[in-house]
Amino acid sequence: MKRLLAGFALMLASASPALATDIINQDQKAYKLTILDGSYTSTKTVPSRGSVYGVCGTGPCKFTIKGSSITAGKDDKLVINGGKLKKM
C-alpha cells in the first residue's frame, strides 16, 4: 500500500502543467502576432475565430499585432477583440 501511495504522489508531482500564455481571437480576421520573449522574437498567425496556445514560456512577454501591443506573464490569457489585444 505504501508503494502505491508513493507512486501516486510521484505521479501527481510530475504531472503539474506547464503554464504558458494563450491567445484567443474573437475577430473575423486572422492576425500576425509578434512575440518578444526576453531576447527571442517569434511570430505566430492567429486564425480568424481561432486560438494559439503556449506562446510565452518564460514571461513576461510582449505581444504585438498591427495597432495593438500588450505585455503579459506566462500564465495569462489574452483575447483579440476589435483589433486590440486585452487580458482576460
Distance in angstroms (rounded) separating the CA atoms of residues 30 and 70: 18
Distance in angstroms (rounded) separating the CA atoms of residues 25 and 12: 33
Top pLDDT among 12 and 1 is at 1
Number of domains forming the structure of the chain? 1
Q: What is the mean pLDDT of residues 45-60?
A: 91
Bond preceding residue 47 cis, omega within 30 of 0: no
Residue 56 lies in a domain: yes
Residue 22 lies in a domain: yes
Residue 8 lies in a domain: no
CATH of the domain at 41: 2.60.40
- Cα angle value 82/86/56 (rounded, 5°): 125
pLDDT tens sequence across 5-52: 444 444 444 433 456 899 999 999 999 999 999 889 999 999 999 999
- pTM of the full structure: 0.76
pLDDT score at 5:
46
pLDDT score at 19:
61
